[in-house]
Amino acid sequence: MNPEFLIRLLSASQPRRPKVIFNCLTGKRTVSVLYWALRYKLLSWLNVFPSLQWDTFNGAVNKLVQDKRVTVQSDGQLLSNEALENDELSELFPAEQRQVYRIMHVKIVAETTLLGIQALSHTIYHDMGYFPVSVSERARVQVRRWFRSSSFDENHIRDLTLALNRWLATMPARKADVFLSQLAGEMHPGYTVQQLSQALNLPTWQIDLIQAANLAAFAQFCQADTHGWRNLLSPFMDQALPRPVKQTLSAVQQGTTRTAISQQRGLRPSTINEHLLTAAILLPLDQFPYEKCVDEATRESIKKHQPVNIDNWQGSLGATPDQFFQYRMTQIWETKQK
């Protein structure tokens, strides 16, 4: 992980826990990680780098600390000494594309994309004897399945390439250049990140981010496409919320109480609470029934006794699980108001 990228995930005013940032980037979805990622305004980065290693991440932290660009507080939280604008990241990798990573099986989507396009390229050139990109068996199986899902005759291939071409034309040209540079096929070995970095005069970490953004954009394109691209990646795209969370949510929306849900489904009340907190954090404000979890009066009374900065709120030590649930729900609601 590049320190330049990491420092842009830190704040000069809000101390941030490195473990939370790491867990968010690698897609650990505990309520605590999700909540703090939300507070750090980093929730959109959830699961964007699932294969990131702690040692690599920690190495970048140490580098920044060594260079005095970041300060470690006594409780281990990090504070940036540079107020680096986040706009740059959003331009390279818009938040709505980052959010696709939440529902994407990242590694297999990347592999399937590479091999699928390579196979298509070689099919066009009638060359079945090519050296395939090195991917997992799962990706190979999926690409074979994709090729069996349709005839792949000239008409079908024309539909596919035309759709792809149209989509690329809607992208910023430089991003489209990077996207194709990462693909391999007949007459086209592709380019390395290093080569792209030089040719485009951008640091490698920015190329990495553009590529990550491109993968999400391509996955979105495939999901929306009606010409056959959808079949390539659809097995590796999840729903926005995990199924149990969704079930709990719709039961609450239909008016079932949390206690009743817990009894009906044989789940512990704490699990039901976690489902709802997860849904509240991940869904937009207007798509979650806050009223059914914590009524306005409770919310107001909690808020009245707490400071303005939500990060400084103190939950009471003797709180019941239910009181804590309402307290957390209020924090989420308050955060999303802003």
Partner 1 sequence: MSREPHKIDNDIQLPRHVKPNDPRLKLSETAVDLARDRQAALRTHFGLKKFRPGQAEAIDSLQQGRNGLAILPTGSGKTLIYELTTYLINRPCLIVSPLLSLMQDQVGRLNQRGERRAVALNSLLTKPEKDSILSRLQQYRFIFISPEMLQNEGVMTSIQHCNIGLLVIDEAHCISTWGPDFRPAYLSLGDVRSQLGNPLTCVLTATADEHVQTDILTQLRLRPTAARKASMAMATDDQQNVQVIRQSVNRPNIFLAMRSVTSRKEKANELMGLMAKIVKPGIIYFSSKAQADEWAQRLSDAGYPAASYHAGLDAQTRYTVQQQFMADQLQVVCATSAFGMGIDKDNIRFVIHYHLPGNLNDYVQEIGRAGRDGQQSIAICLIAPGDEQLPADLATLPLPNDRQVKTFYETKQPALQTDMDQLLDYYKKHHFSEQQLIDRFGELRQERQLALRKFINFTRSPDCLRKTLLNGFNETSVPHDHSCCAPIGTEFSLSELGLAQDQHELQKTMQIPGWRQQFKALFSENFTNSNV
User: Which positions lie near partner 1, rule CB under 8 A?
Assistant: 114, 117, 120-121, 124-125, 128-134, 136-138, 141, 157-158, 161-162, 164-166, 168-169, 173, 176-177, 179-196, 198-200
Residue closer to partner 1 by CB (options 84, 176) is 176
Least Å distance between CB 288 and partner 1?
35
> Count of CB atoms within 10 A of residue 245's CB?
21
Least Å distance between CB 186 and partner 1?
7
d(CA 101, CA 48): 5
Helix intervals (H) in 171-304: 173-181, 193-200, 204-224, 230-233, 243-253, 258-265, 269-282, 296-304
Residue closer to partner 1 by CB (options 202, 283) is 202
Nearest of 22, 46, 52, 16 to residue 34 by alpha carbon: 46
d(CA 19, CA 153): 50
Tokens of 167: 């989509």
Please, which residues have CB within 8 angstroms of residue 305's CB and are 6 or more apart in sequence?
Answer: none
Q: Is the separation of the CB atoms in 78 and 20 below 8 Å?
A: no
Residue closer to partner 1 by CB (options 74, 155) is 155
Residue closer to partner 1 by CB (options 169, 308) is 169
Q: Is the separation of the CB atoms in 93 and 209 below 8 Å?
A: yes
Residue closer to partner 1 by CB (options 169, 317) is 169
Least Å distance between CB 104 and partner 1?
18
Residue closer to partner 1 by CB (options 157, 267) is 157
Residue 72: strand pairing partners: 78
Residue closer to partner 1 by CB (options 121, 330) is 121
Least Å distance between CB 58 and partner 1?
19
Residue 325: alpha-carbon gap to chain centroid: 25
Least Å distance between CB 163 and partner 1?
10
Least Å distance between CB 142 and partner 1?
11
Residue indicated by tokens 């990242």: 106
3-state secondary structure of 243: helix
Least Å distance between CB 127 and partner 1?
9
d(CA 256, CA 308): 33
3-state secondary structure of 237: strand
Q: At what angle do helices 321-337 and 296-304 cross, to 10 degrees?
A: 90
Please, which residues have CB within 8 angstroms of residue 107's CB and are 6 or more apart in sequence?
Answer: 50, 51, 136
Residue closer to partner 1 by CB (options 113, 330) is 113
